[in-house]
Structure 1
């Protein structure tokens, strides 16, 4: 019989980051685009075969992308900004994502509350949309030629518009009447591919609090799309939260099925009766697509039984909660991991087996399992039981210290602190600095890698790192930067580096997850109670400070970002885990200031992405997230200046929360958005100092001096020079020195021009 198993989407970067490697080789002009296409074709085939071999019935095509699926949708609709319209093929595609020597890239921001970034579409009323279905059609046929029938994944029109921006300042939803005909034309083209074909339309925007105006678009949109042709089975999928308002409307349309997330959207249980009454298929997302813990099959079966008490079993499909894009590829290469801990984990490939096993047990019954399937079920039960009782997880000493931690605020108010700091530190208005990291050269990466493998001694490794630090300091002094950083050569990643030194953290060898384009991160995972056995950064920072008379910033990742960029244990509330991290970091800040470090930056780049999608849950998150940032910096003396950094966030709705964090200086991304993000700081009368990014580090282009002069002038239209710092958007780790050096020299020169004007 049919397994009725379903996967929302699959990772595309490759099990050994093959896509990343070929893209970066192509961008470096070391290979042709033909090679990119060859590698991509091989990856798609492997990914489809993994799913087919695991018994998955509903496998996706068009979930693969060379950079981003939202960008692909812009291409599909011909939603091309004017500055790129004279370009063709791959030059057009990658220029939109990364910029080129003549044009800045399109804006990039977080995909809901994940660490994945999408390319923000730029739309206007004068756009002429027309269909480019070549990628979608070709990918479906690629799979078909391999004997694999796929469903076609699309970004839904309402979500696409909700995530876009109007460059002519209008309402993006006004354009629905212009893009919906293109979707209808696409459906006609898709309908020619097979006798019956399944189309999954992703509408995750429905999982947010939507205005009545947005909800009013759902029925006419999906009435129209459902009636284009009678051989398409249309499934509308949401995830990351419940989508009850939209679900109730969708049950009144002719769509074939609804995909709902029952892991992060438990309230979806409230609309089961409407789904049953509509006779629609329910794609039940019960296997976590965002975390790495092994599914508890028995617990999930109880949830499925609860669902099937309302929705007929024959109308249920067993699915991942969202695309598996957000989890690493496979555990196959984790040969160094503690076997106990490894037995608690499940990456994307392993989740395929979980979905299949759940479908077999749920639909066929335990008594009808094969010997192999019964063994897998018993192994699942054993591993989950072992995890609950393991002494690797629980540390009473940590629990007691955190429970009794009472210092929740710094000494002194900002006005008092900043006066002391200004006198002590003596920096000028429009002080120049960077966000922290400098380029991670192949030599630095090799040295770290060789040291981890035991192929070089610690003495050799330390010498390599200190040589890099020396070079970083020399360059910063040469180009005239005023507050320096050590460059972070010892850090593989801004979270993993700290996780490696905190008790309660685990690590993978190959647990890479796509962040954007070719950029991959390897999040650590929190399996137990967190503590700091010893100082983590003090030796490196104090060495760097000893090499210069200028101020050296200490660099830490904040507790909320460490939490949000890790895979977090699911047996304890996230708020409790975050507080444990914050207490550990407060010790690090105290050690740094006692070692003579006068400025400490506590990055909270992922603070905003942790926000719940639903309004009613936000205050609870803000309360503990602000609490934990303040716990982290509570040990800082009045004279110790605390910086924080946030990137790719809309601040209008959280500006009061940022104020409550009470950092002395905040640096933010603004280069791709002019001074728009900064205006809210003026509107609320924000007192603390601000470092708006004056150039985009996610693009390889080098901005000119004049370009940055104009950018700084825009900033000065919003805030006075006394309140402003000047810095790039973000860390420079992913850039090359040949891009970084001229860019920073131009930035310093631009500041000098402004100061002397």
Structure 2
């Protein structure tokens, strides 16, 4: 084998055209059998492995493929299955139980889902309080054997590491952490022993938790379990793989007993730590020098220079060249993007292209720069051509952002008086988060329009008919504040990427968000600015159909930034302010046209929080400023709403308050009301809706269940501050389950409202 190794940390599981998603949804709809699902997804998996081999990758990951989520895979691997899904398990196949944990059943609420570190990927939270773990099935071994037998590839099994897996779970006290590690220690050892016996030489244990702040107990437990693995399973090369940031406890982590340590050299300051503390001479350094989270082509000369700097402290034969993290977070390939401007396309690099860059850097480090001179020049030319082109020159007439005010005219306690007088809403008003079901017919009509098979007028008329239909449904259900349903939108960020200057939208640039849900993040290539109204037509039409209030629906600046691939030549915060200023113009247009409730969603606010606490303040200050910049110019009687996904709300409580939104709704149903504790410890003076049922599951909650969730919240939050709504948008749900769930929600609201009003009159 060559002196320098190349490796991949992980590969997208969805297929080049989301074939994986389509197979999953056919199975869930009963259109294919379990055997067909497994066979069809196997073909997708093997195709990805073949491509990695063709790109010249030495250490190819196996077992990183998943039918839903790799954390859930680990839970099932170790039989960490909540009791509510063990009941009646004999009537289900193991795969059906797997999906039940993720999606729920008629009788059992799905496990909690939350963000994977600071990404837009969601994982299923392990529940450790109900069963003793056991090695149920050696899934990595299955994938290793399959890859070897089918393709002749000696794969590198990828497994979520023990410290990260346990730390991401719930159901135990922090003091019980060492006990849990002790329970899992023999299971990881057994798993690795079985891999070794099968001939595995390299295995990757993912420990991204090592890039966060660890306690002394965490570090002690990490040392103990990896020492045990090293002693009990000698002769297998373990890579302890970190990513997303610098490892704070650098000296402790790089000295853990393992054959290799994987470090991220794109985010954070790993090179500085390497220069300061050195690196063990008996280990490989898996150097993550290719950005696994953005889509821009790399300057190969610059990256080769980085590897040369690393080689001053680590012998070249001990360097493994690789991406900074799994390529799960980027699209599969730019090959099919035939409609992109050639200048921009040439400057892009998706997963397959990043693997090619990885292999080139390996060759350059191994055989000196001259061996890839042509490719280096091509990369530099591609980047320089983009930066010197019209695309990155400032837009004429750009708003002078620093001259815009970012404060509402009155404080909330004065604004809310005029808002209540204007809106005339009942106690405990009901609403939804924004999107309504996008049926296959909606998607079919959009596709026909994009292909030119129907005219703009015909498509507009179809969207109007859907709005009209759902305004009538919402009125019949009895909701208090309605929405137009967002039938014209492909995705809450991509839609705005198509409308704002400075963005482009790809054709096949899909990435997984959760389960089978894939999104197509737009690419920000130049200065962002407002072009023309984006949401006014549909919102005004919906309002014309009803006497009830209709919310205008926008995605907020922080979420658009965090869910886009951002230009890499200027500060992300400068881009953020540009987006905020553009949205401000849209909000003003909505208000001019009579829309007096405007929701500016920020589900990704917490997601973008840096992993390092010393970077939190700058990020939150700039995020708050951007939201206020976007929303501050409206009248005091116009009500600003926002929506956020749940994830450690306590970390950003003060920032949420500082946003100065009049109403905030928060995704919390899967956490079973745990978020309410944040309001017991902190005073929140504005209005709030804690999601009262989970939309990520097809399960329809009963009226009593929703009433229980509302009643529990009202023990902490005053009724005159509380809104009742689902915990997220309803785009992915079917019409019949959406209507049934909303009817139960409205009925629950009426019953609780009557009880509250009766109590007030006593």
Q: CA deviation at 1:634?
A: 1.2
1:320-719 to 2 correspondence within 5 Å? 320-367=323-370, 369=371, 374-395=373-394, 397=396, 401-719=399-717
Distance 1:754 1:478 in 2: 20
Q: Deviations along 1:694-743, whole A, 9 cap, x unmatched?
A: 10000001111111111111111111111100000000000000110000
Residue 220 (structure 2) aligned to one of 216, 220, 243: 216
Q: Secondary structure at the match of 2:403?
A: coil
Specify which of 193, 198, 206 is matched with residue 188 of structure 1: 193
1:131 to 109, 129, 135: 135
Residue 230 in 1 paired to residue 234 in 2? yes
For the 8 Å contact 1:244–1:268, the answer to whether it is kept is no
Task: Please state whether the residue corresponding to 1:283 is helix, strand or coil.
Answer: strand
Q: Out of 482-491 and 445-454, give the one that drifted further.
A: 445-454
How far apart, in 1, do the equivalents of 2:500 and 2:540 lie?
A: 20
CA contact (8 A) 1:273 1:310 kept: no
State the Cα distance separating 1:514 from its structure 2 match: 0.5
| 1:267-278 alignment, distance < 5 Å | 267-272=270-275, 274=277, 276-278=279-281
Q: Which sits farther off after the overlay, 316-325 or 209-218?
A: 209-218
Deviation at 1:382, TM superposition (A): 1.2
Structure 1 spans left out of the alignment, 5+ residues: none
Give, in angstroms, the shift of residue 171 of structure 1. 4.1
Deviation at 1:302, TM superposition (A): 1.5
Match of 1:14 in 2: 15
For residues 162-184 of structure 1, the C-alpha deviation after alignment (integer angstroms, 9 at most, x for no partner) is 10001689744531111111111
- Does the 8 Å CA contact 2:127/2:169 hold for their aligned counterparts? yes
2:311 paired residue number: 308
In structure 2, C-alpha distance between the alignment counterparts of 1:270 and 1:334, rounded to whole Å:
39
SS at match of 1:625: helix
Instruction: State the partner residue of 2:744.
Output: 746
Mapped to 2, the partners of 1:239 and 1:647 lie a distance apart of 23
* Alpha-carbon distance in structure 1 between the residues aligned to 2:271 and 2:311: 13
- C-alpha distance after superposition, 1:363-402 (max 9, x if no partner): 11233x3xxx554333212101112211211215465x34
Supply the RMSD in Å over aligned alpha carbons. 1.4
- Classify the secondary structure of the residue corresponding to 2:314: coil
1:73-111 superposed Cα distances (whole Å, 9 cap, x missing partner): 101111111111132411110001110111010000000
Distance in 1 separating the partners of 2:128 and 2:560: 35
SS at match of 2:564: coil
Separation in 2 of the partners of 1:69 and 1:268? 29
Query: What is the total number of aligned residue pairs between the two structures?
Result: 749
| TM-score of the aligned structures, taking structure 2 as reference length | 0.96
Q: Does 1:35 align with 2:39?
A: no
Change (3 A) 1:308 1:13: same
SS in 2 for 1:122: coil
Contact 1:5-1:317 within 8 A present in 2 as well: yes
State yes or no: 1:25 paired with 2:26: yes
* Structure 2 residue ranges without an equivalent (≥5): 756-762
SS at match of 1:726: coil
* Structure 1 residue 267, shift from structure 2 partner: 3.5
CA distance in 2, matches of 1:347, 1:646: 29
Q: Quick check: 1:501–1:536 contact (8 Å CA) kept in 2?
A: yes
- Asked if the contact 2:271/2:310 (under 8 Å) is kept, the reply is no
Q: 1:143 to 1:347 in 2, by over 3 A?
A: same
Measure, in 1, the Cα distance between the counterparts of 2:206 and 2:504: 33
1:191 deviates by 1.1
Counterpart residue number, 2:265: 262
Give the equivalent residue in structure 1 for 2:243.
239
Structure 1 CA distance, aligned partners of 2:420 and 2:381? 59
Deviation, 1:151, is 0.7
